[in-house]
Protein backbone atom coordinates (compact mmCIF):
# COMPACT_ATOMS: atom_id res chain seq x y z
CA UNK A 1 0.00 0.00 0.00
CA UNK A 2 1.48 3.33 -1.04
CA UNK A 3 1.25 6.60 0.79
CA UNK A 4 -1.49 7.89 -1.45
CA UNK A 5 -3.64 4.83 -0.83
CA UNK A 6 -4.22 5.90 2.77
CA UNK A 7 -6.10 8.98 1.69
CA UNK A 8 -8.48 7.08 -0.57
CA UNK A 9 -9.00 3.99 1.62
CA UNK A 10 -12.34 4.36 3.41
CA UNK A 11 -12.26 4.09 7.19
CA UNK A 12 -14.48 1.30 8.54
CA UNK A 13 -17.93 2.65 9.23
CA UNK A 14 -18.88 0.24 12.02
CA UNK A 15 -16.35 1.39 14.60
CA UNK A 16 -13.70 3.95 15.26
CA UNK A 17 -10.41 3.15 13.57
CA UNK A 18 -7.98 1.76 16.13
CA UNK A 19 -4.97 1.51 13.79
CA UNK A 20 -3.58 4.93 14.68
CA UNK A 21 -4.74 5.16 18.30
CA UNK A 22 -2.19 5.56 21.07
CA UNK A 23 -3.07 4.78 24.66
CA UNK A 24 -0.77 5.62 27.56
CA UNK A 25 -1.92 4.24 30.92
CA UNK A 26 -0.40 5.12 34.32
CA UNK A 27 3.07 5.36 32.87
CA UNK A 28 5.93 6.14 35.20
CA UNK A 29 9.65 6.13 34.63
CA UNK A 30 12.42 5.90 37.18
CA UNK A 31 16.11 5.80 36.39
CA UNK A 32 19.22 5.15 38.41
CA UNK A 33 21.85 7.84 38.89
CA UNK A 34 24.99 8.04 41.00
CA UNK A 35 23.03 9.84 43.73
CA UNK A 36 20.14 7.34 43.77
CA UNK A 37 16.93 6.91 41.84
CA UNK A 38 15.27 9.78 39.99
CA UNK A 39 11.61 9.82 39.13
CA UNK A 40 11.45 11.22 35.60
CA UNK A 41 7.78 10.64 34.83
CA UNK A 42 4.90 9.83 37.10
CA UNK A 43 1.40 8.51 36.46
CA UNK A 44 0.94 9.71 32.89
CA UNK A 45 -2.32 8.67 31.21
CA UNK A 46 -3.86 9.87 27.97
CA UNK A 47 -5.39 8.57 24.77
CA UNK A 48 -4.88 9.87 21.26
CA UNK A 49 -7.46 8.94 18.61
CA UNK A 50 -6.52 7.95 15.08
CA UNK A 51 -5.69 10.87 12.81
CA UNK A 52 -5.31 13.45 15.57
CA UNK A 53 -2.41 15.89 15.76
CA UNK A 54 -1.30 16.41 19.34
CA UNK A 55 1.69 18.22 20.82
CA UNK A 56 3.47 17.64 24.11
CA UNK A 57 5.02 20.73 25.69
CA UNK A 58 6.83 21.31 28.96
CA UNK A 59 10.00 22.74 30.46
CA UNK A 60 13.29 21.12 29.53
CA UNK A 61 13.93 18.07 31.66
CA UNK A 62 10.24 17.28 32.12
CA UNK A 63 10.69 13.97 30.35
CA UNK A 64 8.64 14.78 27.24
CA UNK A 65 11.26 13.27 24.96
CA UNK A 66 11.55 10.19 27.20
CA UNK A 67 7.80 9.78 26.99
CA UNK A 68 7.98 9.89 23.20
CA UNK A 69 10.81 7.32 23.17
CA UNK A 70 8.61 5.04 25.28
CA UNK A 71 5.73 5.37 22.83
CA UNK A 72 8.25 4.52 20.09
CA UNK A 73 9.16 1.34 21.99
CA UNK A 74 12.80 2.47 22.33
CA UNK A 75 12.61 2.79 26.12
CA UNK A 76 10.54 0.56 28.40
CA UNK A 77 8.50 2.41 31.06
CA UNK A 78 9.15 1.40 34.66
CA UNK A 79 5.40 1.36 35.35
CA UNK A 80 2.23 1.37 33.29
CA UNK A 81 1.42 0.30 29.75
CA UNK A 82 1.45 1.81 26.30
CA UNK A 83 -0.48 0.53 23.31
CA UNK A 84 -0.26 1.65 19.70
CA UNK A 85 -2.88 0.59 17.19
CA UNK A 86 -4.62 -1.28 20.02
CA UNK A 87 -1.67 -3.58 20.76
CA UNK A 88 1.11 -3.22 23.34
CA UNK A 89 4.64 -2.38 22.20
CA UNK A 90 7.52 -4.41 23.58
CA UNK A 91 10.01 -3.23 20.97
CA UNK A 92 10.07 -0.71 18.12
CA UNK A 93 7.60 -1.61 15.38
CA UNK A 94 8.27 0.53 12.30
CA UNK A 95 5.14 -0.69 10.54
CA UNK A 96 3.04 0.91 13.29
CA UNK A 97 5.20 3.88 14.26
CA UNK A 98 7.58 6.15 12.36
CA UNK A 99 9.93 8.41 14.32
CA UNK A 100 11.53 11.73 13.33
CA UNK A 101 14.36 12.73 15.64
CA UNK A 102 15.63 16.12 16.78
CA UNK A 103 18.80 16.00 14.70
CA UNK A 104 17.79 14.62 11.33
CA UNK A 105 20.15 11.71 12.13
CA UNK A 106 20.62 10.79 8.49
CA UNK A 107 23.43 8.42 7.56
CA UNK A 108 26.04 10.67 5.93
CA UNK A 109 27.38 7.80 3.78
CA UNK A 110 24.00 7.26 2.08
CA UNK A 111 22.23 9.45 -0.48
CA UNK A 112 18.89 11.03 0.42
CA UNK A 113 17.16 8.21 -1.47
CA UNK A 114 19.11 5.45 0.29
CA UNK A 115 18.44 7.09 3.65
CA UNK A 116 14.71 7.00 2.91
CA UNK A 117 14.98 3.42 1.65
CA UNK A 118 16.91 2.35 4.76
CA UNK A 119 13.88 1.13 6.81
CA UNK A 120 12.63 -0.85 3.81
CA UNK A 121 16.02 -2.37 3.06
CA UNK A 122 16.25 -3.64 6.66
CA UNK A 123 13.14 -5.69 5.89
CA UNK A 124 14.50 -6.88 2.53
CA UNK A 125 11.74 -5.19 0.53
CA UNK A 126 12.20 -5.75 -3.20
CA UNK A 127 14.58 -3.26 -4.77
CA UNK A 128 12.07 -1.87 -7.26
CA UNK A 129 9.31 -1.37 -4.71
CA UNK A 130 11.81 0.17 -2.32
CA UNK A 131 12.84 2.73 -4.90
CA UNK A 132 9.26 3.55 -5.85
CA UNK A 133 8.22 4.11 -2.25
CA UNK A 134 11.29 6.23 -1.48
CA UNK A 135 10.61 8.40 -4.50
CA UNK A 136 6.97 8.76 -3.51
CA UNK A 137 7.99 9.80 0.03
CA UNK A 138 10.64 12.26 -1.20
CA UNK A 139 8.05 13.70 -3.54
CA UNK A 140 5.61 14.09 -0.65
CA UNK A 141 8.12 16.17 1.35
CA UNK A 142 9.00 18.27 -1.71
CA UNK A 143 12.48 16.85 -2.34
CA UNK A 144 11.86 15.01 -5.61
CA UNK A 145 14.93 16.52 -7.28
CA UNK A 146 17.36 15.80 -4.45
CA UNK A 147 17.29 12.00 -4.25
CA UNK A 148 20.94 11.57 -5.23
CA UNK A 149 22.37 14.20 -2.88
CA UNK A 150 24.26 13.27 0.25
CA UNK A 151 23.24 14.84 3.59
CA UNK A 152 26.27 17.16 3.64
CA UNK A 153 24.97 18.72 0.43
CA UNK A 154 21.58 19.54 1.98
CA UNK A 155 20.46 22.42 4.24
CA UNK A 156 19.18 21.81 7.77
CA UNK A 157 15.56 22.08 6.64
CA UNK A 158 16.11 19.70 3.73
CA UNK A 159 17.76 17.15 6.00
CA UNK A 160 14.68 17.20 8.24
CA UNK A 161 12.52 16.70 5.16
CA UNK A 162 14.54 13.61 4.29
CA UNK A 163 14.14 12.37 7.88
CA UNK A 164 10.40 13.00 7.57
CA UNK A 165 10.30 11.03 4.30
CA UNK A 166 12.18 8.19 6.04
CA UNK A 167 9.56 8.24 8.81
CA UNK A 168 6.74 8.10 6.26
CA UNK A 169 8.18 5.56 3.81
CA UNK A 170 6.65 2.50 5.47
CA UNK A 171 3.34 4.30 5.73
CA UNK A 172 2.90 3.78 9.49
CA UNK A 173 -0.42 5.05 10.90
CA UNK A 174 1.44 6.85 13.71
CA UNK A 175 4.22 9.41 13.37
CA UNK A 176 6.24 10.58 16.38
CA UNK A 177 8.28 13.78 16.11
CA UNK A 178 10.82 14.70 18.79
CA UNK A 179 11.51 18.45 18.64
CA UNK A 180 12.17 17.99 14.94
CA UNK A 181 12.67 21.65 14.11
CA UNK A 182 14.44 22.84 17.27
CA UNK A 183 17.79 23.18 15.49
CA UNK A 184 16.37 25.16 12.55
CA UNK A 185 16.14 28.93 12.18
CA UNK A 186 12.80 30.67 12.77
CA UNK A 187 11.84 31.02 9.09
CA UNK A 188 12.66 27.42 8.20
CA UNK A 189 10.82 26.26 11.31
CA UNK A 190 7.63 28.03 10.22
CA UNK A 191 7.89 26.61 6.70
CA UNK A 192 8.47 23.12 8.04
CA UNK A 193 5.44 23.44 10.32
CA UNK A 194 3.25 24.20 7.29
CA UNK A 195 4.84 21.25 5.47
CA UNK A 196 3.98 18.87 8.28
CA UNK A 197 0.38 20.16 8.33
CA UNK A 198 0.09 19.71 4.56
CA UNK A 199 1.38 16.13 4.81
CA UNK A 200 -0.85 15.40 7.79
CA UNK A 201 -3.90 16.67 5.91
CA UNK A 202 -3.02 14.44 2.96
CA UNK A 203 -2.18 11.26 4.89
CA UNK A 204 -4.29 11.72 8.06
CA UNK A 205 -1.75 10.03 10.27
CA UNK A 206 -1.79 10.30 14.02
CA UNK A 207 1.01 12.72 14.88
CA UNK A 208 2.50 13.18 18.34
CA UNK A 209 4.79 16.19 18.27
CA UNK A 210 7.15 17.11 21.11
CA UNK A 211 8.27 20.74 21.20
CA UNK A 212 9.27 23.52 23.55
CA UNK A 213 7.69 26.11 21.30
CA UNK A 214 4.22 27.03 22.60
CA UNK A 215 3.21 28.96 19.45
CA UNK A 216 4.38 26.07 17.31
CA UNK A 217 2.34 23.60 19.39
CA UNK A 218 -0.82 25.72 19.14
CA UNK A 219 -0.30 26.40 15.43
CA UNK A 220 -0.04 22.69 14.58
CA UNK A 221 -2.17 20.73 17.01
CA UNK A 222 -5.71 19.67 17.76
CA UNK A 223 -4.69 19.35 21.37
CA UNK A 224 -1.70 20.31 23.53
CA UNK A 225 -0.59 18.13 26.46
CA UNK A 226 1.23 20.11 29.15
CA UNK A 227 3.87 18.44 31.34
CA UNK A 228 5.59 19.87 34.41
CA UNK A 229 8.98 18.78 35.60
CA UNK A 230 10.53 16.73 38.41
CA UNK A 231 8.76 14.45 38.27
CA UNK A 232 7.22 14.85 34.81
CA UNK A 233 3.46 15.00 35.29
CA UNK A 234 0.59 15.61 32.90
CA UNK A 235 -1.04 18.78 34.29
CA UNK A 236 -3.32 19.91 31.48
CA UNK A 237 -4.81 18.96 28.12
CA UNK A 238 -5.64 22.05 26.10
CA UNK A 239 -7.99 21.63 23.12
CA UNK A 240 -7.03 24.03 20.35
CA UNK A 241 -10.37 25.19 18.96
CA UNK A 242 -8.91 27.50 16.33
CA UNK A 243 -10.28 26.91 12.82
CA UNK A 244 -8.03 25.32 10.21
CA UNK A 245 -6.27 26.30 8.06
CA UNK A 246 -4.75 28.57 10.68
CA UNK A 247 -3.99 31.80 8.92
CA UNK A 248 -1.63 34.48 10.07
CA UNK A 249 -4.59 36.51 11.44
CA UNK A 250 -5.90 33.60 13.52
CA UNK A 251 -2.43 33.07 14.94
CA UNK A 252 -2.26 36.72 16.03
CA UNK A 253 -5.81 36.76 17.39
CA UNK A 254 -7.27 36.91 20.89
CA UNK A 255 -8.16 33.21 21.19
CA UNK A 256 -4.60 32.23 20.27
CA UNK A 257 -3.24 34.53 23.00
CA UNK A 258 -5.67 33.06 25.56
CA UNK A 259 -4.55 29.52 24.76
CA UNK A 260 -0.90 30.50 24.87
CA UNK A 261 -1.40 32.26 28.22
CA UNK A 262 -3.20 29.25 29.70
CA UNK A 263 -0.43 26.83 28.67
CA UNK A 264 2.25 29.19 29.92
CA UNK A 265 0.53 29.50 33.32
CA UNK A 266 0.27 25.70 33.62
CA UNK A 267 3.94 25.20 32.79
CA UNK A 268 5.01 27.79 35.36
CA UNK A 269 2.85 26.43 38.16
CA UNK B 1 42.78 43.92 12.55
CA UNK B 2 45.57 42.01 14.23
CA UNK B 3 49.05 41.37 12.92
CA UNK B 4 48.48 37.64 12.36
CA UNK B 5 45.79 38.38 9.77
CA UNK B 6 48.06 40.79 7.92
CA UNK B 7 50.89 38.28 7.85
CA UNK B 8 48.62 35.51 6.59
CA UNK B 9 47.34 37.46 3.60
CA UNK B 10 50.92 38.18 2.57
CA UNK B 11 52.00 34.55 2.78
CA UNK B 12 48.98 33.29 0.85
CA UNK B 13 50.06 34.89 -2.42
CA UNK B 14 51.93 31.63 -3.26
CA UNK B 15 49.60 28.58 -3.29
CA UNK B 16 50.57 26.05 -0.61
CA UNK B 17 51.13 23.08 -3.00
CA UNK B 18 53.50 25.19 -5.12
CA UNK B 19 55.39 26.38 -2.05
CA UNK B 20 55.61 22.78 -0.78
CA UNK B 21 56.94 21.46 -4.10
CA UNK B 22 59.46 24.32 -4.20
CA UNK B 23 60.65 23.48 -0.69
CA UNK B 24 61.19 19.79 -1.56
CA UNK B 25 62.99 20.78 -4.79
CA UNK B 26 65.20 23.18 -2.83
CA UNK B 27 66.15 20.46 -0.30
CA UNK B 28 67.06 18.05 -3.11
CA UNK B 29 69.09 20.82 -4.76
CA UNK B 30 70.99 21.47 -1.50
CA UNK B 31 71.55 17.71 -1.17
CA UNK B 32 72.99 17.72 -4.71
CA UNK B 33 75.08 20.89 -4.42
CA UNK B 34 76.51 20.58 -0.90
CA UNK B 35 78.62 17.40 -1.52
CA UNK B 36 79.55 18.49 -5.06
CA UNK B 37 81.07 21.87 -4.09
CA UNK B 38 82.84 20.34 -1.08
CA UNK B 39 80.62 21.65 1.74
CA UNK B 40 80.04 18.02 2.76
CA UNK B 41 82.13 14.90 2.24
CA UNK B 42 80.49 13.08 -0.73
CA UNK B 43 81.48 9.79 0.92
CA UNK B 44 79.28 10.72 3.91
CA UNK B 45 76.40 12.06 1.83
CA UNK B 46 76.34 10.81 -1.77
CA UNK B 47 74.35 13.32 -3.89
CA UNK B 48 71.10 12.45 -5.73
CA UNK B 49 73.05 12.14 -8.97
CA UNK B 50 74.77 9.08 -7.41
CA UNK B 51 71.83 7.74 -5.36
CA UNK B 52 69.35 7.90 -8.28
CA UNK B 53 71.28 5.58 -10.60
CA UNK B 54 72.09 3.35 -7.60
CA UNK B 55 68.34 2.77 -7.03
CA UNK B 56 68.04 1.61 -10.65
CA UNK B 57 71.11 -0.61 -10.21
CA UNK B 58 69.73 -2.16 -6.99
CA UNK B 59 66.45 -3.08 -8.66
CA UNK B 60 68.55 -4.84 -11.31
CA UNK B 61 70.19 -7.04 -8.66
CA UNK B 62 68.34 -10.28 -7.81
CA UNK B 63 69.77 -10.14 -4.28
CA UNK B 64 68.21 -6.74 -3.54
CA UNK B 65 64.88 -7.76 -5.03
CA UNK B 66 64.93 -10.78 -2.73
CA UNK B 67 65.55 -8.56 0.32
CA UNK B 68 62.74 -6.26 -0.77
CA UNK B 69 60.35 -9.20 -1.26
CA UNK B 70 61.22 -10.63 2.17
CA UNK B 71 60.53 -7.34 3.95
CA UNK B 72 57.31 -6.70 2.08
CA UNK B 73 56.04 -10.22 2.78
CA UNK B 74 56.88 -9.98 6.50
CA UNK B 75 55.22 -6.57 6.68
CA UNK B 76 52.13 -7.77 4.84
CA UNK B 77 51.65 -10.90 6.95
CA UNK B 78 52.19 -9.01 10.22
CA UNK B 79 49.73 -6.35 9.06
CA UNK B 80 47.08 -8.85 7.99
CA UNK B 81 47.31 -10.52 11.39
CA UNK B 82 47.56 -7.49 13.68
CA UNK B 83 44.85 -5.27 12.19
CA UNK B 84 41.92 -7.76 12.23
CA UNK B 85 43.02 -9.33 15.53
CA UNK B 86 43.48 -5.92 17.19
CA UNK B 87 40.17 -4.69 15.81
CA UNK B 88 38.21 -7.74 16.97
CA UNK B 89 39.83 -7.63 20.41
CA UNK B 90 38.95 -3.93 20.66
CA UNK B 91 35.32 -4.70 19.79
CA UNK B 92 35.11 -7.51 22.36
CA UNK B 93 36.58 -5.22 25.01
CA UNK B 94 34.85 -2.00 23.96
CA UNK B 95 31.40 -3.55 23.77
CA UNK B 96 31.30 -4.59 27.41
CA UNK B 97 31.57 -1.99 30.18
CA UNK B 98 33.12 -4.47 32.65
CA UNK B 99 35.66 -5.76 30.12
CA UNK B 100 36.50 -2.14 29.24
CA UNK B 101 37.18 -1.29 32.86
CA UNK B 102 39.54 -4.25 33.19
CA UNK B 103 41.37 -4.28 29.87
CA UNK B 104 41.49 -0.71 28.56
CA UNK B 105 44.00 0.57 31.17
CA UNK B 106 46.17 -2.51 30.54
CA UNK B 107 46.20 -1.83 26.81
CA UNK B 108 47.29 1.75 27.55
CA UNK B 109 50.05 0.47 29.90
CA UNK B 110 51.49 -1.92 27.33
CA UNK B 111 51.16 0.65 24.55
CA UNK B 112 53.40 3.06 26.46
CA UNK B 113 56.31 0.57 26.67
CA UNK B 114 58.92 0.85 23.89
CA UNK B 115 58.56 -2.40 21.95
CA UNK B 116 62.22 -2.59 20.82
CA UNK B 117 63.39 -3.74 24.27
CA UNK B 118 61.55 -7.03 23.75
CA UNK B 119 63.52 -7.98 20.61
CA UNK B 120 65.93 -10.33 22.41
CA UNK B 121 62.97 -12.18 23.94
CA UNK B 122 61.47 -12.67 20.50
CA UNK B 123 64.73 -14.21 19.30
CA UNK B 124 64.70 -16.63 22.28
CA UNK B 125 61.12 -17.55 21.49
CA UNK B 126 61.23 -17.80 17.69
CA UNK B 127 64.91 -17.83 16.69
CA UNK B 128 66.17 -15.53 13.97
CA UNK B 129 63.43 -16.31 11.48
CA UNK B 130 60.56 -15.15 9.33
CA UNK B 131 58.19 -16.03 12.18
CA UNK B 132 60.15 -13.92 14.62
CA UNK B 133 59.95 -10.87 12.33
CA UNK B 134 56.21 -11.33 11.83
CA UNK B 135 55.61 -11.93 15.55
CA UNK B 136 57.53 -8.78 16.46
CA UNK B 137 55.70 -6.82 13.75
CA UNK B 138 52.36 -7.97 15.20
CA UNK B 139 53.51 -7.12 18.74
CA UNK B 140 54.59 -3.63 17.60
CA UNK B 141 51.25 -2.97 15.91
CA UNK B 142 48.56 -4.71 17.95
CA UNK B 143 48.25 -2.12 20.72
CA UNK B 144 48.03 0.93 18.49
CA UNK B 145 45.38 -0.93 16.44
CA UNK B 146 43.41 -1.58 19.63
CA UNK B 147 43.70 1.99 20.87
CA UNK B 148 42.61 3.46 17.53
CA UNK B 149 39.81 0.90 17.26
CA UNK B 150 38.48 2.03 20.65
CA UNK B 151 38.38 5.55 19.21
CA UNK B 152 36.69 4.23 16.05
CA UNK B 153 33.96 2.49 18.06
CA UNK B 154 33.38 5.64 20.09
CA UNK B 155 33.15 7.71 16.92
CA UNK B 156 29.90 5.99 15.94
CA UNK B 157 27.08 8.40 16.70
CA UNK B 158 24.54 7.24 19.27
CA UNK B 159 21.63 8.78 17.38
CA UNK B 160 22.58 6.71 14.31
CA UNK B 161 22.21 3.57 16.43
CA UNK B 162 18.87 4.75 17.85
CA UNK B 163 17.53 5.33 14.34
CA UNK B 164 18.53 1.79 13.33
CA UNK B 165 16.83 0.39 16.41
CA UNK B 166 13.66 2.41 15.85
CA UNK B 167 13.45 0.90 12.34
CA UNK B 168 13.82 -2.61 13.70
CA UNK B 169 17.43 -3.35 12.63
CA UNK B 170 18.77 -6.71 13.80
CA UNK B 171 22.09 -6.88 15.64
CA UNK B 172 23.89 -8.00 12.48
CA UNK B 173 22.29 -5.24 10.41
CA UNK B 174 23.33 -2.65 13.00
CA UNK B 175 26.94 -3.87 12.88
CA UNK B 176 27.18 -4.04 9.10
CA UNK B 177 25.09 -1.03 8.10
CA UNK B 178 25.67 1.46 10.93
CA UNK B 179 28.75 0.55 12.99
CA UNK B 180 31.01 -0.34 10.09
CA UNK B 181 30.34 2.64 7.81
CA UNK B 182 30.15 4.93 10.86
CA UNK B 183 33.62 3.80 11.95
CA UNK B 184 35.20 3.81 8.49
CA UNK B 185 36.85 7.27 8.58
CA UNK B 186 38.53 6.61 11.93
CA UNK B 187 39.28 3.01 10.94
CA UNK B 188 41.14 4.16 7.81
CA UNK B 189 43.18 6.45 10.02
CA UNK B 190 43.86 3.45 12.26
CA UNK B 191 45.06 1.39 9.29
CA UNK B 192 47.34 4.19 8.13
CA UNK B 193 48.96 4.80 11.51
CA UNK B 194 49.17 1.06 12.27
CA UNK B 195 51.17 0.49 9.10
CA UNK B 196 53.77 3.00 10.29
CA UNK B 197 54.21 1.03 13.54
CA UNK B 198 54.16 -2.27 11.68
CA UNK B 199 56.76 -1.32 9.06
CA UNK B 200 58.99 0.20 11.75
CA UNK B 201 58.75 -3.00 13.83
CA UNK B 202 59.68 -5.25 10.92
CA UNK B 203 62.64 -3.10 9.82
CA UNK B 204 63.89 -2.80 13.39
CA UNK B 205 63.77 -6.57 13.87
CA UNK B 206 65.67 -7.06 10.63
CA UNK B 207 68.31 -4.50 11.57
CA UNK B 208 68.78 -6.08 14.98
CA UNK B 209 69.32 -9.67 13.85
CA UNK B 210 68.50 -11.21 10.46
CA UNK B 211 69.86 -12.95 7.40
CA UNK B 212 67.81 -11.07 4.83
CA UNK B 213 65.47 -8.13 4.32
CA UNK B 214 65.85 -4.39 3.76
CA UNK B 215 66.64 -3.83 7.44
CA UNK B 216 69.43 -6.38 7.07
CA UNK B 217 71.04 -4.60 4.11
CA UNK B 218 70.69 -1.21 5.76
CA UNK B 219 72.58 -2.50 8.78
CA UNK B 220 75.14 -4.26 6.56
CA UNK B 221 75.77 -1.34 4.21
CA UNK B 222 75.89 1.11 7.12
CA UNK B 223 78.56 -0.98 8.86
CA UNK B 224 80.40 -1.48 5.54
CA UNK B 225 80.39 2.25 4.80
CA UNK B 226 78.54 1.73 1.46
CA UNK B 227 76.62 4.96 1.75
CA UNK B 228 75.47 5.09 -1.87
CA UNK B 229 73.68 1.75 -1.41
CA UNK B 230 72.46 2.76 2.06
CA UNK B 231 71.00 6.05 0.83
CA UNK B 232 69.35 4.33 -2.16
CA UNK B 233 67.69 1.81 0.17
CA UNK B 234 66.52 4.60 2.48
CA UNK B 235 64.90 6.37 -0.47
CA UNK B 236 63.17 3.13 -1.57
CA UNK B 237 61.80 2.48 1.94
CA UNK B 238 60.68 6.09 2.32
CA UNK B 239 58.90 5.90 -1.04
CA UNK B 240 57.05 2.68 -0.07
CA UNK B 241 55.93 4.20 3.24
CA UNK B 242 54.79 7.47 1.67
CA UNK B 243 52.87 5.75 -1.17
CA UNK B 244 50.96 3.49 1.27
CA UNK B 245 50.23 6.39 3.62
CA UNK B 246 49.02 8.70 0.85
CA UNK B 247 46.81 6.00 -0.70
CA UNK B 248 44.96 5.53 2.58
CA UNK B 249 44.82 9.29 3.09
CA UNK B 250 43.18 9.66 -0.33
CA UNK B 251 40.54 7.11 0.73
CA UNK B 252 40.10 9.00 4.00
CA UNK B 253 39.42 12.29 2.25
CA UNK B 254 36.87 10.56 0.01
CA UNK B 255 34.75 9.66 3.03
CA UNK B 256 35.56 12.82 5.00
CA UNK B 257 31.90 13.93 4.88
CA UNK B 258 30.91 10.66 6.59
CA UNK B 259 32.10 12.22 9.83
CA UNK B 260 29.50 14.98 9.54
The per-residue pLDDT string of chain B (260 residues; one tens digit each, 9 = 90 and over) reads 444 445 555 556 889 999 999 999 999 999 999 998 888 888 888 999 999 999 999 999 999 999 999 999 999 999 999 999 999 999 899 888 899 999 999 999 999 999 999 999 999 999 999 999 999 999 999 999 999 999 998 889 999 999 999 999 998 999 899 999 999 999 999 999 999 999 999 999 999 999 999 999 999 999 999 999 999 999 999 999 999 999 999 999 888 887 76
Low-confidence ranges of chain A (pLDDT < 70): 1-16
Same domain, A218 and A122: no
Contact at CB, B166 and A94, closer than 8 angstroms: yes
- Segment 118-157 of chain A within 8 Å of chain B by CB: 118-119, 122-123, 150-152
Same domain for A247 and A179: yes
- Does residue B21 sit in the same domain as residue B88? no
**Residues A182, A167 within the same domain:** no
Note whether B67 and B127 are same-domain residues: yes
Give every CB contact of residue A265 below 8 A, 6+ residues apart in sequence. Answer: none
Long-range Cβ pairs for the range A93-96 (8 Å, 24+): A93/B168, A94/A119, A94/A170, A94/A172, A94/B166, A94/B167, A94/B168, A95/A170, A95/A172, A96/A172, A96/A173, A96/A174
Find the helix or strand (DSSP H, E) in which A161 lies: helix A156-168
Q: Is residue B93 part of a domain?
A: yes
Q: Are residues A86 and A198 in the same domain?
A: yes
- Return the CATH number at A257: 3.40.50.300
The answer to whether residue A101 sits within a structural domain is no
Q: By the CB < 8 Å criterion, does A116 face chain B? A: no
> How much is the pLDDT for B245?
95
Looking at residue B239, its pLDDT comes to 96
Which residue on chain B is closest to A104 by alpha carbon?
Answer: B159
Which residue does chain B place closest to A166, by CA atoms?
Answer: B167
CB atoms within 10 A of CB A259: 20
Q: Indicate if A90 and A217 belong to the same structural domain.
A: yes
Contact B168 A122 (CB under 8 A): yes
Question: Has residue B2 been placed in a domain?
Answer: no
What residues contact residue B105 under an 8 Å CB cut-off, 6+ apart? none
For residue B1, tell me if it sits in a domain.
Answer: no
Domain boundary among A171, A205, A221: A171
Domain total of chain B? 2
Residue from the list A94, A109, A152 with its beta carbon closest to the beta carbon of B168: A94
What was the pLDDT predicted at B8? 54
Of B160, B168, B259, nearest to A92 by CB-CB distance is B168
Which of A129, A144, A171 lies at the terminal end of a domain, its last residue? A171
Same domain membership, residue B111 and residue B175: yes
Q: Tell me how close the Cα of A119 comes to any Cα of chain B, in angstroms.
A: 6
Whether residue A246 sits in one domain with residue A124: no
B9 within a domain of the structure (yes/no): no
Which residues in chain B are contacts of A73 at CB distance < 8 A?
A: 166
Q: B241: which residues sit within 8 A by CB, 6+ positions away?
A: B195, B196, B199
In a domain, A10, yes or no: no
* Domain extent for B23: 14-42
On whether both A159 and A185 belong to a single domain, the answer is: no
Do B80 and B181 share a structural domain? yes
A83-122 pLDDT, tens per residue?
999 899 888 999 999 999 988 999 999 999 999 999 999 9
| B71 in a structural domain | yes
Residue A7, pLDDT score: 43
Judge: A92–B167 Cβ closer than 8 Å, yes or no. Answer: yes
Closest Cβ opposite residue A152 in set B157, B160, B260: B260
Q: Which residues does chain A have within 8 Å of residue B166's beta carbon, measured at their own beta carbons?
A: 72-74, 92, 94, 99
Let me know whether A166 and A218 are in one domain: no
ipTM over the 0.95 cut-off: no
| B166 close to A (CB below 8 A) | yes
Domain that residue A145 falls in: 107-171
In a shared domain, residues A123 and A248 = no
Same domain, A124 and A248: no
Amino acid sequence: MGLKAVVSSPSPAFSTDESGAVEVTNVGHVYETASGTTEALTDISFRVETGRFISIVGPSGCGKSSLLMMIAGLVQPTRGTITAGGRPLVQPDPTRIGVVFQDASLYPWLTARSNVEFPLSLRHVDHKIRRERAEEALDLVGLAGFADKHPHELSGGMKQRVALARGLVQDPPILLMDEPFAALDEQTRLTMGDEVLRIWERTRKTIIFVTHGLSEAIHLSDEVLVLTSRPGKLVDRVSVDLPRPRSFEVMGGRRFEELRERIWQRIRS
Amino acid sequence: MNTATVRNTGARSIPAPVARAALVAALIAVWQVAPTVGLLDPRLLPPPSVVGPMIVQLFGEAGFRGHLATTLLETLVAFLVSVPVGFIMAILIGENKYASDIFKPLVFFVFSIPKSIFLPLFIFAFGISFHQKVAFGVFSTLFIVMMLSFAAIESVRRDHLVVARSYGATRMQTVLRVYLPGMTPVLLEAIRVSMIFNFTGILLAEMYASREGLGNVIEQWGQGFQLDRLMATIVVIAAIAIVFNETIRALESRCEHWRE
